[in-house]
Amino acid sequence: MGKFKHAIAVAVLTLVTAAGLYFLFDWMFALPDPASAQAGPIDTMFQSHFAMMAILFAFIMVMMLYSVAVFRRRPDDTEDGPHVHGHTGLEIAWTVIPTLVVIGFGVYGTVVLGEITREQDNEMTVSVVGAQWSWSFEYPAEDIRSNRLVLPVNQPVLLELESRDVLHSFWVPEFRVKQDLVPGTVKTLRITPTQLGSYRLACAEICGEGHAGMLADVEVVSQADFEQFLVDSAFRYSDLTPEERGQQFYTELGCAGCHTVDGASGVGPSWNGIYLREEQLTDGTTVVVDDDYIRHSIIAPNDQIVAGFNPNIMPQDYEERINNLEAEILDSEGAELDIIADLIAFMQTLDQ
């Protein structure tokens, strides 16, 4: 009867401790409110892991502390304890049971992965491009580009993700799913947003000096509002003024990732009031930020570095990016544009 008494005591203490630990884990690692269909199975898997961790930790600690407290040597006990060689059944149990648990969770994880990556009916495709340090989005069916991700609620979405430079990672915490962007290949991620609201996309892979600022707005809207977004976003570059085109290129080419327009410090000099300003360079010379300097700094960014900023930060392929975008616009609109001249025109509007 004494053995059963100890077993019952350990079982009760383990259950109470495990329950307390489960709620502690759930509080410590609280997740933001779910906002996608994929979040449900992922959250359930999280909870099952919390429960298993709580049970295992509680069982081990209760057994250890209970043994120390109940079976400790008494002050008047001078005899040796019983010599135990081993217990075959116990050794088999603590080998087989954890193995089955690990295999079970592996199978469970595979099922969840298959569920959240399964192709859905009527998927809408959105292309996502990550570059140091900005995001851009394209809706191929509508030939629309945007610097914010707008999605209709309850619409299955296939994201096609690619990186222009280094590893990045697409992560909206409320959606739960996350996918790395690998240069030279297109990765896919499926999301079905279920909650209207505004969210924030962050890069979850350290990608350089401006990593912390690699953010983008994500909006989940009604179908009617999404259709209005498409209407509002449809434009021809050739129909815009140079200043308006420059503002569009500022976000589309990722300039916003390094250069602010409000005077705040960033990875690169702020564009606010920079046009025709005299700047000191790292070699001690000064230069006027005119059209020639701006054009040269975009094409060869390491030639003349403004004092206080690090070299080798700005990607070296902007001339190629600009040429490719100009070629795309020429193909689609028949208009030949000078993107750098438009950027300069936009800078001049920021002279405050």
How high is the pLDDT of residue 309? 85
Q: Are residues 94 and 196 in the same domain?
A: no
**Domain boundary residue, one of 186, 210, 233:** 233
Q: Are residues 6 and 112 in the same domain?
A: yes
pLDDT digits (tens, 9 = 90+) for 112-171: 999 999 988 899 999 999 988 889 899 988 878 888 899 999 999 999 999 988 899 999
Q: Are residues 344 and 293 in the same domain?
A: yes
How high is the pLDDT of residue 264? 82
Evaluate whether residue 82 is within a structural domain. no
Q: Are residues 103 and 149 in the same domain?
A: no
- Structure-token pair, residue 228: 């209005």
Whether the per-residue pLDDT at 2 is higher than 70: the answer is: no
Q: What is the domain extent for residue 204?
A: 124-233
Evaluate whether residue 71 is within a structural domain. no
Q: Three-state secondary structure along 153-173?
A: CCCCEEEEEEECCCCEEEECH
Please give the Cα distance from 331 to 241 (Å, whole number): 20
**Domain boundary residue, one of 75, 99, 117:** 117
Q: Are residues 214 and 251 in the same domain?
A: no
Q: Are residues 205 and 262 in the same domain?
A: no
How high is the pLDDT of residue 181? 94
How do 286-288 and 278-280 pair as beta strands? antiparallel
Q: What is the CATH number of the domain that holds 275?
A: 1.10.760.10
Q: Are residues 252 and 294 in the same domain?
A: yes
Q: What is the CATH number of the domain that holds 140?
A: 2.60.40.420
Q: Are residues 178 and 92 in the same domain?
A: no
**Domain boundary residue, one of 180, 201, 233:** 233
Q: Are residues 132 and 174 in the same domain?
A: yes
Q: Are residues 182 and 270 in the same domain?
A: no
Evaluate whether residue 70 is within a structural domain. no
Domain count, the chain: 3
CA 38 from chain centre, in angstroms, equals 16
What is the pLDDT of the chain when averaged over all its residues?
88
Residue for token digits 């900005």?
134
Q: Are residues 162 and 206 in the same domain?
A: yes
How high is the pLDDT of residue 1? 55
- Long-range contacts of range 142-147, CB-CB < 8 Å, 24 or more positions apart? 142/230, 142/233, 142/234, 143/332, 144/230, 144/233, 144/234, 145/233, 145/252, 146/233, 147/216, 147/251, 147/252, 147/256
Q: How confident is the model at residue 3 (pLDDT cuts 50, 70, 90)?
A: low
Mean of pLDDT values over 18-28: 90
Residue 167, Cβ density class (10 Å: 0-12 exposed, 13-18 middle, ≥19 buried): middle
How high is the pLDDT of residue 94? 85
Evaluate whether residue 241 is within a structural domain. yes
